[in-house]
Amino acid sequence: MRTIAVLNQKGGVGKTTTVVNLAAALAMKGQRVMVIDLDPQAHLTIHFGVDAETDGHGAYEVLTKSADMSNALVNVRGNVWLLGANINLVGAESELVSVVGRETVLREALESLTESFDYVIIDCPPALGLLTLNALAAVKEVFIPVQPHFLALQGFSKLLQTVSLVGRRINPDLRVAAIVLCMFDTRVTLSSEVKADIKNFLDNARTAATPWSGARIIPIHIRQNIKLAEAPSHGQTIFEYEPKCNGAIDYERVADYVHNYMNGEAADEAFLASISEEINELDTTLASVGAAIQAAQEEQNVAAEPSLESAESAEPMVSGEFAPPLDSAQAAESIPSPEPAVCLERPEGDENSEPARESAAPAVAPPPARIQPPSPGSRRRIVAVAAAPQRRMLNRRTFARSLRK
């Protein structure tokens, strides 16, 4: 039975997501997996859609020895059993202060189940307290999920010191086995820089007698994927919620690496060689899809050329269609001449009399519209040329008659 603690005192780096989906991927491979939630926030329990307060005993009852481990487990999936958590776990540390051997309570509870499971994966709280010490005392391997940000590295050395202290005093078999890079973005330079810093640190510690001298960075990085953040609200693993997304693909490969290639000198090379055929098939598929898209675009362009030529050679039949271009002289002749304005005259000396006659006064014609002839080869065409609107006086009665005394 392999025992793994997923640990990082910094919150929000992907501990719970890694535990849930790594356990689900291992269970899909036929492995019997037990997951333990030691976080009082109970995010692991919620992620599986379980309420520890109503579905039986949990980690608090096991640590306080008020319930047996085998009776507290809940079968949440086909090959996955859960030891859930609730808010009562907050008081476990204060209740265990006076207990002799309080750091090894969880290890003693697991001794009776060593033959029942293939993997035990513990989700540790984001703190280095008594709950975390119980997890480190009960396991042999530590996985450290790291977000590739600067602040995520600040507590990295402190975490390694805690692991080293527990290894000297409580659990000599404890070692840091792997670093899991979560929320990795290849487009950002910072992600590659953080990965390089961790790799250099681990390479320099190869010859030292430390619990992390054999640690390695898992070659499959968990890419940023919104589906991983949406799955907990549905109480599902990523393989149930969106099995074809990048998160599901990454965690499936991480589980394959953990199960088959963690032990060995050339584990990374063997793992990459195992998926090289899959990568080649993916590259071939992408190339064929690109060629098909390019061929479809060329066929569409060839089919569109006759329609463009026919549209250029077609003559206008109704108003509103394109008309042949006019030169400047034809355009000037097409402008209608303005009509003469009509003004009303009154007889001299009689302001109240009706207009005697109408006289036509020639109005000044507006200048013809300036039309720029189309340049050779241009497709711009003149649809119509309209004359400027003319104001015209209408025949009407005289304005108000003067009031008589």
- Whose tokens are 């390694």? That residue is 160
Q: Is the pLDDT of residue 333 over 80?
A: no
- DSSP reduced 3-state for 208: coil
CATH 3.40.50.300 at 2-286, yes or no = yes
Task: Name the CA dihedral angle for 242, 13, 250, 231, rounded to a multiple of 10 degrees.
Answer: -10
Q: Is the pLDDT of residue 18 over 90?
A: yes
Q: Report residue 377 as tokens.
A: 């080869």
DSSP 149-207: STGGGTTHHHHHHHHHHHHHHT-TT-EEEEEEE-SB-TT-HHHHHHHHHHHHHHHHTTT
Domain positions in the chain are 2-286
- Mean of all residue pLDDT scores within the chain: 78
Check residue 362 and give its pLDDT. Answer: 52
Name the pLDDT band for 157 (thresholds 50, 70, 90): confident
pTM above the 0.75 mark? no
Q: Is the pLDDT of residue 365 over 60?
A: no
Using a pLDDT cut of 90, give the percent of the chain over it.
34
CB neighbours of residue 73 within 10 Å: 22
Q: What are the tens digits of pLDDT across the range 170-195? A: 999 999 999 999 999 888 889 889 89
